[in-house]
Structure 1
């Protein structure tokens, strides 16, 4: 990651306890807890994650594992992890996941999380009831287009000439409408609503 991304500085520790014992901790740091295999991943989530967050509750922790079980992902999130990155994802996606967590978001692979629960009715399905894209306001459609591009709230606010807090409110409302739990799900569940290159008109 450090070799491919100039803004990332990585430090390695062989255990959560070693990281905790380090003399200083940058509050903006993101901790990647890495393990391979079911047994090691379960131990990581149930012990190391709990240990680390008990010592530093505000730390942003991302689990990195070759396990893509929805149950494992949900367990990690419920215990306080801010993201779950599977080793099958590309390095570019992993870096984007870190960026999402860094700006206050939560990242879980959409394929793994969505398979754990029934998908809600998409806005396209609701068009049969006379709603369609009117299910969202034009401003929300603009924000969805930005979220689908992976743009953080600060960039969206600048681009659409609004405050970051207003962007957050819109995103919360969008997530509530389609029952999404994070920005990744917003992008996935609105796939049929907007093509990646589409940008709706402003109000």
Structure 2
């Protein structure tokens, strides 16, 4: 179980320890910690939060699959976002559950991914509202992290400043910006910000001077 919020992590662990056929072999507070523990313990399942200190979930999932190929990854997140879900499932997660899921749904997901129903089988649990976002305008396909990067770009922060603010690598910021430009059809940072504001992806705010 990997989550940086101790109280939530302990609550999930308590739920899992009362379930039949589920044994919690380790816990982690960050993506890097989860990868280190998985490499040592090779668990059947890693339950992973999206927002944790250090490396992002997009880096953590492929790394988990490399260091412990037999482990299945279940994303447990507050983000009811079908676009993010599709992205993380494509990266190798076996299940995506919002934190409003019941204990029965979580335990059932663990049992299901361990059984492994074959290539292409994934478990997705989002609300109807989350599913409806897939039919919205092209600008709405930005992931949660891409919106964060775009919002900080709107504050006139440099790539290195954004990287420090989000605690990610500068190269990751550049990759997010490339994806943002492609998805929004933008040709510059200013163009991306203007289109993001027009699509209500980020709030309109006056630019400020760089630090």
Pairwise TM-score range, normalised by the shorter structure = 0.3 to 0.5
Q: TM-score, normalised by structure 2?
A: 0.45
Q: TM-score, normalised by structure 1?
A: 0.47
